[in-house]
Chain A
Amino acid sequence: MALYNFKKIMVVPTSKEFIDITLSKTQRKTPTVVHKHYQIHRIRHFYMRKVKFTQQNYHDRLTQILTDFPKLDDIHPFYADLMNVLYDKDHYKLALGQINIAKNLIDNVAKDYVRLMKYGDSLYRCKQLKRAALGRMCTILKRQKQSLEYLEQVRQHLSRLPTIDPNTRTLLLCGYPNVGKSSFINKVTRADVEVQPYAFTTKSLFVGHMDYKYLRWQVVDTPGILDHPLEERNTIEMQAITALAHLRSAILYVMDVSEQCGHTLAQQLHLFNGIRPLFASKPLIVVANKCDVKKISELPEENQQIFQDLLSEGIPVIETSTLTEEGVMQVKTEACDKLLTFRVDSKMKGKKVHDVLNRLHLAVPNKRDNKERPPFIPEGAALRKKAMEVDAPKRKLERDLELELGDDYILDLQKYWDLMNAEEKQDKIPEIWEGHNIADYIDPDIMKKLEDLEREEELRERAGEYESDSESEDEEMQEIRQLASQIREKRKLKILQSREKDTMGPRMPRTAKKVDRATLEKEMTGLGLDMEDKDESHYAEVARRSRSVAKKRKRDASEAPTSRTRSQSTSSRPPRDQSGLRDVKVHTHTHTHHRPVRPPRREDGEEDEADDEELSEGHEPGWPQGRVRPPHLQPQAQTPARRQEEEWQHQPAINTHTHTHTHTHTSSASSPNTCSQARGRVAAPAGDKHTHTHTHTHTHTHTHTHTHTPLQPQAQTPARRQEEEWQHQPAINTHTHTHTHTHTHTSSASSPNTCSQARGRVAAPTSDKHTHTHTHTHN
């Protein structure tokens, strides 16, 4: 049986709070907007959800209460009895039962109303039903007001009960009131129980803990018991009786030898005999307390006889005094020992013990003869031990040093370092940051240089270099200053003016107010600005422009048409090459800039590598000699039938020397079935002059034009187009010259199998020591 945790019970709200919590939760956590024109099932669902949600909340909360509170049948009989004594079992059970009934009623109400709501035909009706349902649930709960209040009180009291473990090792103090039970517990534990010189100072159970034999012991102090029948006992006494009856413990029956408690020894003995059945099969000790006032030996004969009888029954009687602490420890050890042996014995009787005992075996050899066989200790060990005992001068601790030196003390741990070479202990350790010794980067002469600079500065100052002389300011500056002061003055005036004006309180600023040019210019001239000839200024231009018209480029004056005008032409339409063009300028522009669709016809009608090679060196077909080509059109030399473009752009990233490789590949692909062509390419020409010198300031630019030679030069169909763009982007080059080339290969192939072209390339030029890593990404 697990020990019940009474401290974890959730707070039980009062019925009013309960209702408020639940309803506001419903309001918060369910949708709140519904309209008449919604579909009827949406409305129904809306209200059903509210009803169900409320019911669920009530249900959960009530179930929580029911599960939190301990069931009297489930908990240890000690606690069950104690709760019966303190809270009245019937009342307790009734309250929980009521809560359970309320829970079921609420569930039923919700069920009924949800069913009725299925037939709700209007928002009004659904809403009324919801209202009625929630109202009824709340009424049910309102009726549980008293149960809830009672349970809350029980909860508070329960949570403050001392945590007594009924199964652990326990010493239980009992006896008449005011005999010194609480004083005893205060002596042996840290319970801090109140001690007063009147009866029933202790009104409830108190628990304290102590250590003995490395075990934890629990000491329970009970309220005093009077000598009368069980039925007449009050709640306070009943707590003690409950503890006596149900705790498996060692009983310390405390008696007041001095009879200061107001009860004679005979009465105390009578009580002892009265509650004796409760001590059955428990270790028992009689504590004769207050022996500092009177000892047993000082008692009259008949009273001494009482103790004699107890002793003869086998019950130990120990004289104690909680005042002088005489015998207290004795009682403690005796009781603990007795209880321990008792518990071990009772465990030995049990069944479970065999499982453990089976595994235990302690061999105790019999004595053979009378020969002494002491444990063998080697000579050396004995000597060493002896040597250790000699008090050699102890090492001086840092603490001693600190005390000795006082304020001068500095903690120096370096002197304890164990190095090969003891002189190195105090050496300075270089500070290393990212593999660099910081000291290397510090100019040893920095201080000297600084001093020099300062001296120079001083000289300069003395020479009067920094003295500001107003004369040196030129006229222009003076003018500016004057203007500035004028502006400032004006501004101040304006602020003052607006302050005087601003009696109506703050208003929204009219920032969008239009200021016409004349006003602006007048104003600015007033402030001293030159406002002549401002026709070209931005504000003037903006003012001229109407709002709706976007700023456009001015149209050129239309030139006279070169050809016949439209009116004169026989056709009503303009010629095709002119239609849609605005004016002559645009016309000429388009004509000069448009890409030639067709290159000039070749005479031989054949194109081969040699051609390409040659072209790459000098000129390209389709472009007249001497004309500057736009850079993006650089590598083309294609007929409309076969368009295969490849652009390689090498863009080496940040480096002290920049390579700009522009590889131009003109490749001609073959017929559709020869997709898996093996292409051998030389990415960098063999004769490349990559001479990398390690001087950082060196910059060279390469422009290569590569010619790509396909294996099968041949007739291409116009359908087959292949464009390839390769971009080489070598990453940051280090001096080790590891170039990483990333080829982004973009090929828009017409047939799917062209993608899987295996391309063997000789990437690294032989004459160069670059290592090229090519990564081809085929898109």
Chain B
Amino acid sequence: MPQNEHIELHRKRHGYRLDHHERKRKKESREAHERSHKARKMIGLKAKLYHKQRHAEKIQMKKTLKMHEQRKSKQKDDEKTPEGAVPAYLLDREGQSRAKVLSNMIKQKRKEKAGKWEVPLPKVRAQGETEVLKVVRTGKRQKKAWKRMVTKVCFVGDGFTRKPPKYERFIRPMGLRFKKAHVTHPELKATFCLPILGVKKNPSSPLYTTLGVITKGTVVEVNVSELGLVTGGNVIWGKYAQVTNNPENDGCINAVLLV
């Protein structure tokens, strides 16, 4: 025992107080009451946090209790049930009709035909022009309004230089330019931070595509050379990915790789 551990030393030499264990037991059994009292007294954010914590604890406790009970109680034995057994309420049902299967197949095929890409986010909310572009007033009297500023996250290529202000119709602010995206590989279930190569398509408008505006549902091309994907001996380095979040709200681009 190291020096300066006075309580332990004292206990070692003189033992516990006579009523130590009794007091400890009482304190412990009292604790639930104390905590519930505290929970009832608390207000505000602290209370919210505390209740959440207690809630989680209670769930955990119930789960463990259930696990202990499972050991004792009788369980359904999967091996005993015969193959193809149906619960009583399904006994009078027939199996799926053939016609239904056929019609389902046709529907499926139509669906497949319709979409060029099978993308994770097939439907995207359209972004209006007022939402994406902010009018910048110019002129000596601030009365000309031909200039626009992009207010969403956008991608600008490496070699881009801004036009002189007189001719620059669309401003893409430096603060909103992104170069990288967090791309999830759906099969590998892993996420990588990959450089963006370009914006393939912004479903809202072709203008946004040319401007490189990245909103939810936009398909971007990412550099996957780091991942080392191979097709027939060639290393693929450009692959499409669809953006799954609202980058302007989250401050980052999350995307799913289209495979």
Interface residues, chain A, with chain B CB atoms under 8 Å away:
20, 24, 27, 112-113, 115-116, 118-119, 121, 124-125, 128-129, 132-133, 160-162, 191, 193-194, 203-207
Flag if B250 contacts A128 (CB, 8 Å): yes
A206 to B4, CA, bound (A): 9
- The answer to whether B176 and A160 have CB atoms under 8 Å apart is no
Residues 3-44 of chain B, each 1 if its beta carbon lies under 8 Å from chain A, else 0: 111000100100000000000000000000000000000000
A133→B251 CA distance, assembly (Å) = 8
Identity of the chain A residue whose Cβ is nearest the Cβ of B149 in the assembled complex: A119
* Across-interface contacts of B4 in A (CB, < 8 A): 160-162
User: Digit string of B172-201 for contact with A (CB within 8 Å is 1, else 0)?
Assistant: 010110000000000000000000000000
Contact status of A24 and B173, CB under 8 A, knowing A132-B249, A133-B251, A160-B5: no
Would you mind naming 6 contact pairs between A and B with Cβ atoms under 8 Å apart?
Answer: A20-B49, A112-B251, A128-B249, A129-B249, A206-B3, A207-B3
Which residues from chain B sit less than 8 Å from chain A, CB to CB? 1-5, 9, 12, 45-46, 49, 134, 151, 173, 175-176, 246, 248-252
Question: Smallest CB–CB gap between B256 and chain A, Å?
Answer: 19
The list of the 8 closest CB pairs from A to B, nearest first, reads A128-B249, A204-B2, A160-B4, A162-B3, A115-B175, A206-B3, A132-B250, A132-B251
Question: Smallest CB-CB separation from B44: which chain A residue?
Answer: A27
Q: Is the CB of A160 within 8 A of B2?
A: yes
Q: In the complex, which of the residues A119, A191, A204 has the most CB atoms of chain B within 10 Å of its own CB atom?
A: A119
Assembly CA distance A663 to B173 (angstroms) = 87
State whether B5 touches A27 (Cβ < 8 A).
no
Tell me the nearest residue of chain B to A125, going by C-beta: B249
Q: A24's contact among B12, B46, B175, by CB below 8 Å, is which? A: B46
Q: Which of A119, A132, A193 contacts B173 (CB 8 A)?
A: A119
A62 to B227, CA, bound (A): 35
Of B12, B246, B251, the residue contacting A116 (CB under 8 A) is: B251
- Bound: A186/B9 CA distance, A: 15
CA distance A203 to B2 in the complex (A): 7
Which residues of B lie under 8 Å from residue A160 when comparing CB positions?
2-5
Q: For the complex, give the distance between the alpha carbons of A206 and B9 in Å.
A: 14
Q: Which residues of A contact B251 (CB under 8 A)?
A: 112-113, 116, 129, 132-133
Measured CB to CB, the nearest residue on chain A to B152 is A119
Residues from chain B with Cβ under 8 Å of A128 in the complex: 246, 249-250
- How far is A115 from B173 in the complex, measured between Cα atoms in Å? 11
- Please give, as numbers and ranges, the residues of chain B lying within 8 Å of A203 by CB-CB distance: 1-2
Q: Which residues of A contact B5 (CB under 8 A)?
A: 160
Name the A residues within 8 Å of B9 (CB-CB).
Answer: 194
Q: How far is the CA of A119 from the CA of B4 in the complex (A)?
A: 58
Residues of A within 8 A of B249 (CB): 124-125, 128-129, 132
Q: Is the CB of A116 within 8 A of B175?
A: yes
B3-A119 in contact (CB<8A): no
11 other A-B residue contacts (CB within 8 Å) besides A129-B251, A194-B12: A24-B49, A112-B251, A113-B251, A116-B248, A119-B175, A119-B176, A121-B151, A128-B249, A161-B2, A191-B3, A204-B3
Is B3's CB under 8 angstroms from A125's CB? no
**CA distance in complex: A27, B47 (Å):** 14
Least Cβ–Cβ distance between A14 and chain B, in angstroms: 14
Whole-angstrom CA separation of A366 from B138 in the bound complex: 105
Does the CB pair B45–A27 fall under 8 Å? Answer: yes
Distance, CA A770 to CA B173, complexed state (A): 91
Contact B134–A121 (Cβ < 8 Å)? yes
Q: In the docked arrangement, what's the CA distance between A204 and B45, Å? A: 46
Nearest CB in chain A: distance from B184 CB, A: 17
Q: How far is the CA of A205 from the CA of B1 in the complex (A)?
A: 10
Q: Give the complex CA separation of A228 and B183 in angstroms.
A: 57
Q: Which residue on A lies nearest to B246, using beta carbons?
A: A128
User: Closest chain A residue to B151 by CB distance?
Assistant: A121
Q: How long is the Cα–Cα vector from A645 to B211 in the complex, in angstroms?
A: 90
How many Å from the CB of A210 to the closest CB on chain B?
16
A133 CB contacts on chain B under 8 angstroms: 251
Nearest-Cβ distance from residue B49 to partner chain A, whole angstroms: 7
B17 to chain A, nearest CB (A): 21
Partner of B151, one of A20, A113, A119, A162: A119
Candidates A27, A116, A132, A193; contact of B176 at CB < 8 Å:
A116
Q: How long is the Cα–Cα vector from A286 to B173 in the complex, in angstroms?
A: 80
Determine if B3 and A118 form an interchain contact, defined as CB atoms under 8 angstroms apart. no
Q: Whole-angstrom distance between the alpha carbons of A27 and B5 in the complex? A: 39
- The answer to whether B248 touches A125 (Cβ under 8 A) is yes
Contacts A112-B251, A113-B251, A119-B176 given; indicate if A194 touches B151 (C-beta within 8 A): no
Q: How far is the CA of A512 from the CA of B151 in the complex (A)?
A: 65
- Nearest B residue to A126 via CB reads B249
Query: What's the Cα separation between A27 and B45 when bound, in Å?
Result: 9
B156 → chain A closest CB, angstroms: 15
Inside 8 A of B250's CB, which chain A residues have their CB? 128-129, 132
Chain B residue with Cβ nearest A135 = B250
| Shortest Cβ gap from B52 to chain A (Å) | 11
**Residue on B nearest A160 in the bound complex, by CB:** B4
The interface residues of chain B lying within 8 Å CB-to-CB of A207 are 3
Minimum Cβ distance to chain B for residue A375 (Å): 52
Listed residue (B12, B176, B246, B249) with the most chain A CB atoms within 10 angstroms of its CB: B249
B2 to chain A, nearest CB (A): 4
* Docked complex Cα distance between A203 and B8 (Å): 15
**Are the C-beta atoms of A118 and B175 separated by less than 8 Å?**
yes
Q: How far is the CB of A33 from chain B (nearest CB, A)?
A: 15
* B12 surroundings in chain A (CB, below 8 A): 194
Q: Which residues of A contact B246 (CB under 8 A)?
A: 128
Closest to B49 in A: A20
Q: What's the nearest-Cβ distance from chain B to residue A159, in Å?
A: 9
Minimum C-beta distance from A597 to chain B (A)? 67
A115 nearest in chain B by CB position = B175
Instruction: Tell me how far the C-beta of B84 lies from the nearest C-beta in chain A, rounded to whole angstroms.
Output: 49
Quote the shortest CB–CB distance from B216 to chain A (angstroms): 13
Chain A residues with Cβ below 8 Å from B176 are: 116, 119
The residues of B that contact A194 with a CB separation of less than 8 Å are 1, 9, 12
Given the complex of chains A and B, what is the CA–CA distance between A194 and B173 in angstroms?
72
Chain B positions within 8 Å of A125 at CB level = 248-249
Closest to B175 in A: A115
Which partner residue on chain B sits nearest A113 by CB separation?
A: B251
Closest to B178 in A: A116
Query: Chain B residues with Cβ under 8 A from A162's Cβ?
Result: 2-4
Q: How many Å from the CB of A757 to the closest CB on chain B? A: 66
Task: Name the residue of chain B whose CB is nearest to the CB of A20.
Answer: B49
Which of B5, B246, B252 neighbours the largest number of chain A CB atoms within 10 Å of its CB? B252
With a CB–CB cut-off of 8 A, which chain B residues contact A118?
175
CB distance from A382 to the nearest CB of B (A): 56
Contacts of A121 in B (CB 8 A): 134, 151
Residues of A within 8 A of B46 (CB): 24
Given the complex of chains A and B, what is the CA–CA distance between A121 and B250 in angstroms? 14
State the Cβ distance, B245 to closest chain A Cβ, in Å.
10
Question: Please, which residue of chain B has its CB at the minimum distance from the CB of A208?
Answer: B3
Looking across the interface, which residue of chain A has its beta carbon closest to that of B45? A27
Looking at the assembled complex, report how far the CB atom of A41 sits from the nearest CB atom of chain B, in whole angstroms.
14
Nearest-CB residue, chain B, relative to A112: B251
Using CB atoms, name the residue of chain B closest to A16. B53
Closest A residue, CB atoms, query B153: A116
Q: Bound state CA distance, A118 and B175, in angstroms? A: 8
Q: Which of A116, A121, A125, A161 has the most CB of B within 10 A?
A: A116
Which residues of chain B are near A113, meaning CB under 8 Å?
A: 251
Roughly how many angstroms separate A293 CA and B164 CA in the complex, as a whole number?
Answer: 102
CA distance A27 to B134 in the complex (A): 33
Considering the complex, give the chain A residue whose CB is closest to the CB of B252: A132
CB-defined contacts of B45 to chain A, threshold 8 Å: 24, 27
Give Cα A118–Cα B248 distance, bound, in whole angstroms: 11
| Complex Cα–Cα for A340 and B9 (A) | 34
- Which chain A positions have C-beta within 8 A of B173? 119
Q: Quote the shortest CB–CB distance from B7 to chain A (angstroms).
A: 11
Name the distance in Å between B244's Cβ and chain A's nearest Cβ.
Answer: 15
Q: Output the residue of B3, B134, B249 with the most chain A CB within 10 A.
A: B3
How many Å lie between the Cα of A129 and that of B153 in the bound state? 13
* Chain A residue at minimal CB-CB distance from B250: A132
In the assembled complex, the CB of B155 is this many whole angstroms from the nearest CB of chain A, namely 15
